[in-house]
Amino acid sequence: MKAGSNLEKILSKDLFAVTGELGPPKGNDVSVIQRKADLLKGYVDAVNVTDNQTAIVRMSSIATSSLLIQMGLEPVMQMVTRDRNRIAIQSDLFGATALGIRNMLCLTGDHHTFGNQVDSKNVHDLDSIQLIDCVRTMRDKGTLLGGEEKIEGEIKLFIGAAENPFGDPFEFRAIRLAKKASAGVDFIQTQCIYDMTRFKEWMKMVRDRGLHEKVHILAGVTPLKSGGMARYMAKNVSGIIIPDQIIDRIVKAKKPAEEGIKLCVEQIQELREIEGVHGVHIMAIEWEQMTSQITEMAGLLPRPQIT
Amino acid sequence: MIKAEQKPMDEILRYLSPYDRILLSGCGACVTVCHAGGEKEVELLASALKMAFRKSGKSLEVLEATPARQCEPEFASELSETIEKVEAVISIACGVGVQTLARHFPKTPVFPGVNTTFLGETVTHGVWEERCQACGNCILERTGGICPVARCAKQLFNGPCGGSSKGKCEIKREADCAWQLIYDRLKGLGQLYRMEEIIPARRWGVESRDSGPRRIVREDLKV
């Protein structure tokens, strides 16, 4: 075991993992975290805690992750390189691991101009691949990046990253995963999948490189709430592809939200059949209450208890 | 070359309000090429400033000069006699030129008339784009001659982020994704293997401005 987290144990036993996602409050209201935690507890193996996603200022992912542990949920602490240089990153990892955090997700982060602090200066001292290498160095060598001095204590982290099979250039997307694997990533979660044909093509490239045996791949899904949401995402979010027939299905449905959940469940079942997919990452953004229903309908319950 | 854009007229007039005799100094090098601070722009700005002063019932005397390279001490010192005659200087050279004049003429206020914007290339007539950040350790050899430090909004070193779509950057939809350009170019050169190599964390503290202003000393050229 590299970190001994619940997520690592489940994946290393070849069980199909389920992760969820929780966006911290835009302030210090802990009741928001408690409410979302209650909606997710028992339905997922670990919960991603976003790090100022879309560059909107929220409670830090470290503090939120620590609170989640107290609430009995296992966090996957996200960390972006947008806001921290390597001094802050490594210092925060000392703190995060001291607080009991055992999973992290290494990201570059959404560009700061998408958020509510557009006049800030971005950092990007490291990119996501260099961050993976940094964490692996701290964990496996027991030193800081580029240093020989031993860290006091042990950095036990199960290292994750994201991958987007829907970004361009498509042919590079498996190469990018290969780079993350050689930098030391243990698991990846993908961008939300709607274009199953393209995802399957990508998985074939991943398998051809043998990456599915080196890295645990969790397929990302996001239930669509309405036709408007589907159209908006398809048009405005770079790196998300929603095929027309899916948009039509949601738009034409009598109850679009119900149809969105049904579609999400079908996607999970289809993804589960793909060789090399080791789990699913459910991003029910501000719709956390649907996680229980989705996991129930997809036959993912009860979640395994591993001691 | 260095690119610059003229500051808003109101801002320049605000600097000048206490004075009635100034030197407007352009530069014959980079800012001439990007039509921000050459001889022609000196002439145009001088007329505009005088007109603006007249409109508000005041008068401004503007002496004009355009040294070949304002950032070189020998050209800057050519201005000595002229500067004796004025109360202040507006320089429409880049920020380097402004500082050269400020260093040479400690008793005369020197104000910038342009915002220095980037090191760039002429894309087409009237369009310039950033190409170099003078980061101090050129990696163009690994990236097909296209710089991700200057041209990727996140300064990624290991390939495009998930926001690269149909060749464009999600941050500025009119901008090309630098990593798409790099990919296409390396593919064309038969060097796609380069995209598989991990570029490790940079040594910003040694190579870039992050350890303070950089300096080059060439003993063989010193006199």
Kindly tell me if the per-residue pLDDT of A10 is higher than 90: yes
Domain locations along chain A: 6-224+275-297
pLDDT at residue number A188:
98
CATH topology for the A6-224+275-297 domain: TIM Barrel (3.20.20)
* Closest chain A residue by Cα to residue B153: A111
Sort strands B127-132 and B114-124 into parallel, antiparallel or unpaired: antiparallel
Q: Do A179 and B158 touch (CB under 8 A)?
A: yes
| Dihedral sign, Cα of residue B203, residue B209, residue B212, residue B217 | positive
Domains and CATH numbers, chain B: 2-117 (3.40.50.2300), 136-208 (no CATH)
pLDDT at residue number A307:
79
Mutate to test the interface with B, among A238, A240, A241, A242 (most CBs of B within 10 A): A238
Cis status of the peptide bond prior to A25, with omega within 30 of 0: no
Residues (pLDDT < 50) of chain B are: none
d(CA B67, CA B78): 8
In our burial notation (b when 16+ CB lie closer than 10 A, e otherwise), range B9-32 reads eeebeebbeebeebbbbbbbbbbb
CB atoms within 10 A of CB A290: 18
> Which residues of chain B does A146 touch, with a Cβ-Cβ cutoff of 8 Å?
201
Which range (A41-45, A167-171, B94-98, B171-175) has the least confidence? B171-175
pLDDT at residue number A238:
79
Take residue A92 and report the two structure tokens written for it: 């925060």
pLDDT at residue number A129:
98
Residue-wise pLDDT for A133-149, tens only, equals 999 999 999 999 998 89
Residue-wise pLDDT for A186-235, tens only, equals 999 999 999 999 999 999 999 999 999 999 999 999 999 999 999 999 99
Could you tell me which of A276, A282, A274 has the C-alpha nearest to residue A300?
Answer: A282
- ipTM confidence: 0.94
d(CA A47, CA A125): 27
Task: Supply the mean pLDDT for chain A.
Answer: 97
Take residue B78 and report the two structure tokens written for it: 């050519």
Residue-wise pLDDT for A236-293, tens only, equals 887 899 999 999 999 999 999 999 999 999 999 999 999 999 999 999 988 999 999 9
Answer for the pair A79, A61: CB distance below 8 angstroms, yes or no: yes
Q: Do B160 and A133 touch (CB under 8 A)?
A: no
Q: CA B166, B172, B176, B180: dihedral to nearest 10 degrees? A: -60
Answer for the pair B49, B7: CB distance below 8 angstroms, yes or no: no
Kindly state whether B198 is in contact with chain A, defined as any CB-CB distance less than 8 angstroms: yes
